Amino acid sequence: MDIKSYVLEKAAKAKSAARVVGKMNAEAKNLALLKMADVLETSKDNLIQENKKDLEAGRQAGLSTSILDRLELNEPRIRQMALGLREIAALPDPVGEILKVRQRPNGMSVGRMRVPLGVIGFIFESRPNVTADSAALCLKAGNAVILKGGSEAINSNKAIIALLKEAAESQGFPADAIGFIDTTDRQAVMDLLKLDDYIDVIIPRGGEGLIRAVTENSKIPVLRHYKGVCHVYVDAKANLDMAENICFNAKTQRPGTCNAMESMLVDQSVAAQFLPKILKRFADAGVTVKGCDKTMKLDASVKPVETDDYHKEYLDMVVNCRVVSGIEEAMEHIAEFGSLHTETIVTESYANAMRFLREVDASAVMVNVSTRFNDGFEFGLGAEIGISTTKLHARGPMGLEELTSTKFIVLGQGQIRV
């Protein structure tokens, strides 16, 4: 079969499976998720063996140590995957929730009912632990899912998905509720992205290159973020000890994540007091600082920042530092260079906090906390399938609810329109 027909068949099967999954009750879905967790753990030796093939191929292809690390499956990571599935099983089922029911003047009640989206296409790179989590979230929200992983993890993904499918089927799920595009041919993704009659939404997760390629070629709506260029603005009225802790945490606690701080903006009135301390702390921790002229005047070790640097998602122990004239210039900087992901102000000023909250455009706008909190678990959504910076449908971390839609429901007693 050619790639195009292969992908079409997967999509068509997923669409019929979705109608069945959408009607399954929470207990059946949860039992399947728990079963998946069990089989991942009992099959750990097989998973590790299949993963070794990918690691070996990756080493031969010259993948970086950090990519190989992300790719690796070991016993603790498999236990973590299983734990993730059990946590999703414990979350409340979003499907069938009835919202905002109001009685209209004519006596009929109008409300909304939460329903599955249908078929979700999930396209991802590298980390095989994402596979189980994402499939579980999609199924729990009543959807069918089609997974397409990166070629570097093909053997690991194949093994994980075979186990997930087996577990799901044993608990009454249709065989095609979890679809897997079992090829490393890049054409498969391009073909998949055209199937808007079968797939309701595409969620890509990976590097900016993947996300842009998916977005540009998709006829199906895409929920995504391209990158996380996140800022902390230290206001004139900031508690400077708090600001120091937040900036340090936002940059160093896990610099390789999309919600890490990439640029620090500091009000000029506190720069001389604030910067020497935080810059020393950064230096001690091995963070390279690129700064504006005013920053460089305060610290000779600071390298000059280029305008282009302000657009960069370093994902590394590097940070830009810019002294600004106040909240106005800080917000202008964010509007120009931010990626609509996560923006924080540190301030004790009520007026500035409210203004920043209202005017800054991003998936999450924060006062006096680290940018690192923009995350489904931290926000209390349970697990997340990714973070969206799109404005339609879902913005910020996407959990179970974001994998659903609603429909209006009307409960009447014979009303007609006059």
Binding site for a copy of itself (CB under 8 A): 19, 23, 96, 102, 104, 108, 110, 112-113, 115, 117-118, 200-201, 221, 223, 239, 242, 245-246, 248-250, 253-254, 335, 357-359, 361-370, 372-374, 378-380, 391-393, 395-397, 405-418
Residue with tokens 């078929």: 119
Shortest distance, CB of residue 393 to a copy of itself, whole angstroms? 4
Through-space distance between the first and last CA atoms of the chain, rounded to whole angstroms = 57
If the CB atoms of residues 280 and 391 are measured against a copy of itself, the closer one turns out to be 391
Note whether 117 and 405 are within 8 A (CB): yes
Say which residue the tokens 């069990």 belong to: 38
Q: How far is the CB of 133 from a copy of itself (least distance, A)?
A: 20
Cα angle 210, 382, 408 (rounded to 5 degrees) comes to: 85
CA atoms of 363 and 373, how far apart (whole Å): 12
Q: Shortest distance, CB of residue 342 to a copy of itself, whole angstroms? A: 9
Nearer to a copy of itself, 40 or 137 (CB): 137
CB of 328 to a copy of itself, least distance (A): 13
Q: Are 320 and 349 in contact (CB under 8 A)?
A: no
Closest contact distance (angstroms) between CB of 49 and a copy of itself is 35
CB of 293 to a copy of itself, least distance (A): 28
CB of 73 to a copy of itself, least distance (A): 25
DSSP alpha helix (H) spans, 113-236: 129-140, 154-170, 187-192, 208-217
Instruction: Please choose, from the candidates 213, 290, 289, 285, the residue with its C-alpha nearest in 3D space to the C-alpha of residue 253.
Output: 285
Report the residue number, 29 or 290, with the smaller CB distance to a copy of itself.
Answer: 29
Closer CB to a copy of itself, 60 or 417, in the complex:
417
Q: Which is nearer to a copy of itself, 156 or 374 (CB)?
A: 374
Instruction: Please report how close the Cβ of residue 335 comes to a copy of itself at its closest, in angstroms.
Output: 8
Contacts of 366 (CB under 8 A, 6+ apart): 342, 343, 344, 345, 373, 374
In the complex with a copy of itself, which residue's Cβ is closer, 15 or 148?
15
Provide the residue type at 130 as one letter: V
Parallel, antiparallel or unpaired: strands 144-148 and 119-124 = parallel
Smaller CB separation from a copy of itself, 102 or 300: 102
Tokens of 340: 């609509």
- Residue 2 CB-density burial (10 A; 0-12 exposed, 13-18 middle, 19+ buried): exposed
Which residue number, 61 or 410, has a Cβ lying nearer to a copy of itself? 410
- Are residues 397 and 379 in contact, defined by beta-carbon separation less than 8 angstroms? yes
Rounded to the nearest whole angstrom, what is the least distance from the CB of residue 48 to a copy of itself in the complex? 30
Amino acid at 154: I
CB atoms within 10 A of CB 171: 17
Output the smallest distance, CB 19 to a copy of itself, in A. 8
Cα separation of 275 and 280, whole Å? 8
Which CB sits closer to a copy of itself, 20 or 57? 20
In angstroms, the CA 259 to CA 390 distance is: 16
Q: Which is nearer to a copy of itself, 80 or 103 (CB)?
A: 103
Tell me how far apart the alpha carbons of residues 327 and 359 are, in angstroms, rounded to a whole number: 11
Q: Give the CA dihedral 362, 264, 247, 125, nearest 10 degrees.
A: 60
